[in-house]
Amino acid sequence: MFSPLTAVLPIFSLIFAGWIVRRTGVVGPQASGELNRFVVYLALPALLFDVIAHAQWADVWQPSFIAAFGIGAALVFGLTIAVRWRGRRHLVDAAIDGLNAGYANTGFVGFPLAVAALGREALAPTLIATIITVCVLFAIAIVLIETGLQTEKRRRHVIIKVGRSLLLNPLLVAPALGAIVPLAGLSVPAPAENFLKLLGGAASPCALVALGLFLAAKREASEQDIGSAALLVGFKLVLQPAVTWVMATLVFGLSPLLTHTAVLLAALPTGTGPFMLAEFYRREANVTSNVILASTIVSVVTLSSYLALAR
User: pLDDT digit string (tens) for 82-112?
Assistant: 999 887 789 999 999 999 999 999 877 888 8
Longest dimension (CA), the chain: 60
Mean of per-residue pLDDT scores for the chain: 88
Q: How far apart are CA 4 and CA 291, in angstroms?
A: 18
**pLDDT value at position 66?**
96
Q: Is the confidence at residue 1, as pLDDT, over 60?
A: no
Number of folded domains in the chain?
A: 1
**Whole-model pTM?**
0.83
Closest among 139, 142, 130 to 51, alpha carbons compared = 130
Model pLDDT for residues 176-231, shown as the tens digit of each residue:
899 899 888 888 999 999 999 999 989 888 988 998 898 887 766 666 778 899 99
Average pLDDT over residues 4-14: 80
**pLDDT value at position 24?**
92
Q: Is the confidence at residue 158, as pLDDT, over 70?
A: no
Q: How far apart are CA 290 and CA 175, in angstroms?
A: 29
Model pLDDT for residues 17-31, shown as the tens digit of each residue:
999 999 999 998 889
Q: How confident is the model at residue 270 (pLDDT cuts 50, 70, 90)?
A: very high
Looking at per-residue confidence, does 155 or 149 come out higher? 149
Entry field: residues in the chain: 311
The residue range of the domain holding 52 is 4-310
What CATH number should be reported for the domain holding residue 187? 1.20.1530.20
